[in-house]
Amino acid sequence: MIGQNYWVDRDRAVGIGRLLRDSWDLIYRIEENDPQYIAISGLIRRTSCGLAAVSVIANALVSYQLTSRGELYWSMFSEWMSGRGGSSVYYLLQAHREFLLNTSYNRMGLEAKLKRLDKFYNSSLAEEIRSDPLKYCGRLEDLWGKIASTLNAEKQSKTIVFSVKIYYYVCRACGSSVKGDIPVPVDRRIAYVTLSSCLVRGCTGSLKKCSYDLMKPRLRGLVMGAWSIVSAESGIPGYNLDSLLWVLGRFIPGRRDYKTILDEVVREYPVLTSYREKLGTILKEFTRCRGSRG
């Protein structure tokens, strides 16, 4: 699988997939403590599954080039919308616009983001989800296609895929089973771990520079393809893999020793202490190529 100078190391992908096969308990525990899941669960408790589903999908669609760390951004969004969302899609839109206009968490490209919010909230899909919020829990692919069509956007773009991952969190928090799958949404953390784990090779510069390359539309599919092999081999859907990668991926850049990373992860998430040995094995593989370039 080739992408310019980058290529997927299929053997590595198969190996990592096999490593992750028995990681379900760990992944579920990570998801329960993912700040995004906590924020969404809190919003549902304070509003409803319907209002929360619409607003968090909309928020995922504008979650790019943040001016704060993602964990903080989602926590603040949940708090803001809990007290201002009203009981209709119209009031959700007004509250969401005010959040972007009156806070400092998501200021870059603000005009385009406000237009995207208007387009989604005023769509028939938004009203459909408000009235039947768990409708798509059993067919995630259908929702993925409808969101892309509503926004007239490429299906593989990070925010489109990410919005379905966030909807999965709504399904889980509202007690609904989930069927279907999506690829891993490609953001900076995912791209970096893809390189540092040797899943994609061919980087001739710094991993930071190469991770920006992998987020470009022409190479995004390469990253998705690599993790789809991991998903198929492990039996873990892309939305669950993303939870593991996004939480651990925060700690990996800029550090050399996987044992130091492990200490920081467990210190930040004490509930993962009992999974320390498994986490250490995973982090060792996720950081195997940080000292090499190909």
Residues sharing a CB contact under 8 Å with residue 273, sequence separation 6 or more, in sequence order: 266
- Reported as a pLDDT band with limits 50, 70 and 90, residue 294 is very low
Residues 221, 12: contact at Cβ < 8 Å?
A: no
What's domain 33-173's architecture? Orthogonal Bundle (1.10)
The token duo for 156 is: 């593989």
The answer on pLDDT for 293 being more than 70 is no
144 three-state secondary structure:
helix
Q: Which fold has domain 2-31+183-286?
A: Endonuclease Iii, domain 2 (1.10.1670)
> Is 209 in the active site?
no
197 burial via Cβ count (<10 Å: 0-12, 13-18, 19+) = buried
Average pLDDT on 218-226 reads 95
Residue 254's pLDDT band (boundaries 50, 70, 90)? confident
Catalytic residue among 34, 187, 213, 242: 187
Q: Active-site residue 263, yes or no?
A: no
Residues of the chain above pLDDT 90, percent: 91
Q: Where in the chain is the domain with CATH 1.10.340.30?
A: 33-173
Query: Does residue 46 register a pLDDT over 80?
Result: yes
Structure confidence at residue 256 (pLDDT): 67
| Domain boundaries for CATH 1.10.1670.10 within the chain | 2-31+183-286
* pLDDT for position 87: 82
Average pLDDT score, the chain: 94
Q: Among residues 158, 165, 213, 242, which one is catalytic?
A: 158
Q: What is the mean pLDDT of residues 190-205?
A: 95
pTM: 0.94
Torsional class of 65: left (φ above 0), alpha (ψ -120 to 50), beta (otherwise): left
**How far apart are alpha carbons 284 and 79 in whole angstroms?**
36
Q: Tell me how far apart the alpha carbons of residues 23 and 282 are, in angstroms, rounded to a whole number.
A: 10
Identify the weakest region by mean pLDDT among 62-66, 194-198, 256-260: 256-260
pLDDT score for 83: 80
Q: Which of 192, 195, 293, 214 lies closest to 4, judged by CA?
A: 214
pLDDT band of residue 274 (cuts 50, 70, 90) is very high
For residue range 113-172, list pLDDT tens digits in order: 999 999 999 999 999 999 999 999 999 999 999 999 999 999 999 999 999 999 999 999
pLDDT of residue 228: 98
